[in-house]
Each structure stands twice: as structure tokens, then as C-alpha cells.
Amino acid sequence: MNEQEFGFETQAIRTHIERSQFQEHSTPLYLSSSFVFDDAEDMRASFTEEKERNIYSRFSNPNTTEFVDKVCAMEGAEAGYAFATGMAAIYSTFAALLNAGDHIVSAGSVFGSTHALFMTYFPKWNITTSYFDINQPETIEGLIKPNTKILYAETPTNPGVDVVDLELLGQIAEKHNLILIIDNCFATPYIQQPIKFGTHLVIHSATKLMDGQGRVLGGITVGRADLIRQIYLFSRNTGPALSPFNAWVLSKSVETLAIRVERHCENAMKVAEFLESHPKVNSVKYPFLKSHPKYEIAKKQMLLGGNIIAFEIKGGLEAGRAFLDKIKLCSLSANIGDAKTIVTHPASTTHSKLSVEEKLAVGISEGLVRVSVGLETVKDVIADLEQALA
């Protein structure tokens, strides 16, 4: 099967179906921590990697390999490694590639725990980070130093739903010989494939839209084979591997990624248009609304607008909290990318420890509400938001 000729959905569904001697149509679950060898020579050759085969599930497992191969096919990546969580993927990717004294240039608005890695943990090993404003990528080059090794960003961002030009980041990385790493969690490979724009490694929290039903945690890094090799060897020794069960769930999930994400985005567009026309809403941020400051860039690099909307309620912190209290159908929960619509108020929850100025610097005003639009009948979601705004 020449996979290059197939479309996205076919690749997500048909890439690397793992079957036992029973020829199951649906991949079985390989709950085995280790694998057996035929003889001493088979064991020797496997450990020296002359033979590509499963040895121990911390290294690889049929279910995790199927998931990795599917994501590689969707992202157009050479290789990958799957992790227990998105944060395990992010931590292990940096830890595998960086040495003491190295420097990272990152967008300021990144996922909260990624921010904590940069600010609290990496400095313990003398790895430092400089931040650029996601809306001013022209300032990136001024931050690059002789010891800068990695350029890092998320697009769209969490929770501000800002967008950064991937082609521009690719050009900067190429010019300065940096490893460009993109957290593509909000877009998914169906909407955006950063490798096409010169990204070297793409990271996902598979917990979000990839699972899509709020069941399992997972993470993955895919991209250039030589970099993945370093990440694999680091991870094989340090143990952040994805469990076979979660890999099995995720391989099933990606079979329906395209059709789910399409509906998520269709619903999100309708919710965004509703919010934009509402008198109690100051502003709405959604990549495919013309009012989004980076609408043209979003249209260039994204197939659809995603399922996350950030909007600003009139009345600040109190109005934001009051809105959440009136929500009936949607969930107040700390996840995104679920079939169930989720509403959060970052200023009083995930980002409550930041000062008002620090929040604004990463795009979070006191009245900002984030909606992860789900797969319910969209009129019901809109009706719930409408009664909560009233």
C-alpha cells in the first residue's frame, strides 16, 4: 500500500493495522509488558537493534507503535514516540535534546505546565528561556543567542486563541539553525500540519481532540527521525511511555478524528458568530472569524478554525464567574477537545496565580471565558450560553 497516495482519513484509518495470528479486523489489545525471544541469537540481535521488534513495552508495544505510525502518517512525519501524557511528551522532548547551558526561545503564551517547566524546572539545569509576544514574532530574532537551540510555540494558543505564522517560524529556525518545535494540540493534524511549514518536531496532548471523548491521557512527539531517535533513547531509559491500553483507545479514536474535528469546527463557527453578535460580549477570538487579528495567517495554515473560542464578557471577573454559575448544559471542567462542550474562566482558575498584568501579557483578561465547543446539537449549546449571558 503506497500511503502517499491516500487521503488523510484513509491514512488515519488504514495505516499500520496490528493483527495477531487470529486476523482480527479491529486491533486487539496487547497487554504484555515484555515479549519472548526464539533463542540467544534472536535476543542478542534484538537488543543490538539489528532486528526491529518489540522487547519490552517501555521501549515499544504493538499498540503504541500502531498509534505512533498513524500520527506520523497524519502529520507527514518520519518517526515518533508516544508518551503517557502531553506533558511527558513536552518534558521528554526538551530533556532529550538540551544540555546544561542551552537556551530556548518560546512564545510567552504556552500551556501552563509548559510555562512551569521553563520557569521553575529547566533553570535547575541551567537551561534558560526567553519569551516573545505571540503577536509580535518579528521580535524573535532579537532574542536568539549563540546558545539558543530550540524555538517553541503553540498555535492556536491556550487559552487566548492567538495564532502565529508557522511559515515565518520555519524561516527563522532555518536561518538560525534552531530546532523548531510546535505544540499542535489545539489544531490537530487534520486542521494543520506544521511539518509542511518547516517544523522539525510536532507535539500533541492526545488527551484532547485526538481522544476526543475525555477518556484517556496520552501524548506524542513526531518529526525528524534523527531527533526522534534521541527522544526515543532518552525515553526508553527514563520511562514516560504511553500504556498499551491508552494507545489502543487512541488508535481507535484517530479513525474518526477527521469527521469529529470537522463537526467540532462547524459547531464552533456557529457559536463564535452567535457570541460576536451578543451585546454582553465585548470581543470574540476565533481564528476563522474575520475579526481575528491573524485571520489571514489562520486561513493560510489552517483548514478549519478549531473548536476553541475565547470571548470577553462585559463586567470583568465577577461577570465571568456569574456566567459560569448560570451554565446548565455545558460542563465546567478542566479539559478541552471533548465531545461535551466545556466552559472555563481562566482568570479565576488555571491562571489565578498570575497578576492582572501577567495575565494580560499572555492574553487573559479578567472577563475572558474559554469555550471548547463539543459535538452536542449546536442550537442547544448556543441556547445554554444565551441563557447564561442573559
Out of 81, 91, 94, 111, the only residue in the binding site for ligand PLP (CB under 6 A) is 111
Contacts with ligand PLP in 168-197 (CB under 6 A)? 183, 185-186
- Smallest gap from Cβ 123 to ligand PLP, in A, equals 20
- Estimate the crossing angle of helix 244-255 against helix 62-75, to 10 degrees: 40
- How many angstroms separate the CA atoms of 92 and 100, rounded? 15
Specify the residue, 217 or 330, whose C-beta has the smaller distance to ligand PLP.
Answer: 217
Number of H helices, E strands in the chain: 15, 11
- How many angstroms separate the CA atoms of 114 and 227, rounded? 20
Segment near ligand PLP (CB under 6 A); pick from 85-93, 169-177, 193-201, 361-369? 85-93
- Smallest gap from Cβ 7 to ligand PLP, in A, equals 26
Please compute Rg for the chain using Cα positions. 21
- How many angstroms separate the CA atoms of 283 and 151, rounded? 30
When asked if residue 67 is in the footprint of ligand PLP (CB under 6 A), the reply is no
Out of 102, 154, 165, 366, the only residue in the binding site for ligand PLP (CB under 6 A) is 154
When asked if residue 219 is in the footprint of ligand PLP (CB under 6 A), the reply is yes
- Smallest gap from Cβ 375 to ligand PLP, in A, equals 18
Q: Is the dihedral of CA 56, 58, 59, 64 positive or negative?
A: positive
Specify the residue, 144 or 247, whose C-beta has the smaller distance to ligand PLP.
Answer: 247
Segment near ligand PLP (CB under 6 A); pick from 80-88, 169-177, 322-330, 351-359? 80-88
When asked if residue 108 is in the footprint of ligand PLP (CB under 6 A), the reply is no
Closest CA to 186 of 215, 222, 158, 221: 158
Specify the residue, 66 or 338, whose C-beta has the smaller distance to ligand PLP.
Answer: 338
Closest CA to 204 of 223, 229, 184, 224: 184
Specify the residue, 11 or 246, whose C-beta has the smaller distance to ligand PLP.
Answer: 246
When asked if residue 364 is in the footprint of ligand PLP (CB under 6 A), the reply is no
DSSP run (H or E) holding 263: helix 257-276
- Smallest gap from Cβ 75 to ligand PLP, in A, equals 16
Out of 205, 246, 253, 365, the only residue in the binding site for ligand PLP (CB under 6 A) is 205
When asked if residue 217 is in the footprint of ligand PLP (CB under 6 A), the reply is yes
- Smallest gap from Cβ 332 to ligand PLP, in A, equals 17
Out of 158, 188, 193, 235, the only residue in the binding site for ligand PLP (CB under 6 A) is 158
How many residues are listed for the chain in this entry?
390
Tell me which residue has its CB nearest to ligand PLP.
Answer: 86
Is residue 67 within 8 A of residue 242, CB to CB? The reply is yes
- Smallest gap from Cβ 378 to ligand PLP, in A, equals 23
Could you tell me the CA-to-CA distances from 323 to 246, 337, 342, 354, 386 in Å, in that order? 35, 21, 13, 21, 10
231-234's contacts with Cβ under 8 Å and 24+ in sequence apart are: 231/81, 231/92, 231/93, 231/96, 231/97, 232/79, 232/81, 233/96, 234/92, 234/95, 234/96
When asked if residue 338 is in the footprint of ligand PLP (CB under 6 A), the reply is no
- Smallest gap from Cβ 113 to ligand PLP, in A, equals 6
Where are the extended beta strands (E) located within the chain? 79-83, 103-107, 128-132, 148-154, 179-183, 201-205, 219-223, 281-285, 308-313, 342-344, 368-372
When asked if residue 91 is in the footprint of ligand PLP (CB under 6 A), the reply is no
- How many angstroms separate the CA atoms of 22 and 319, rounded? 59
When asked if residue 207 is in the footprint of ligand PLP (CB under 6 A), the reply is yes
Out of 103, 208, 285, 351, the only residue in the binding site for ligand PLP (CB under 6 A) is 208
Is residue 252 within 8 A of residue 379, CB to CB? The reply is no
Binding footprint of ligand PLP on the chain (CB under 6 A): 85-87, 111, 154, 158, 183, 185-186, 205, 207-208, 217, 219, 336
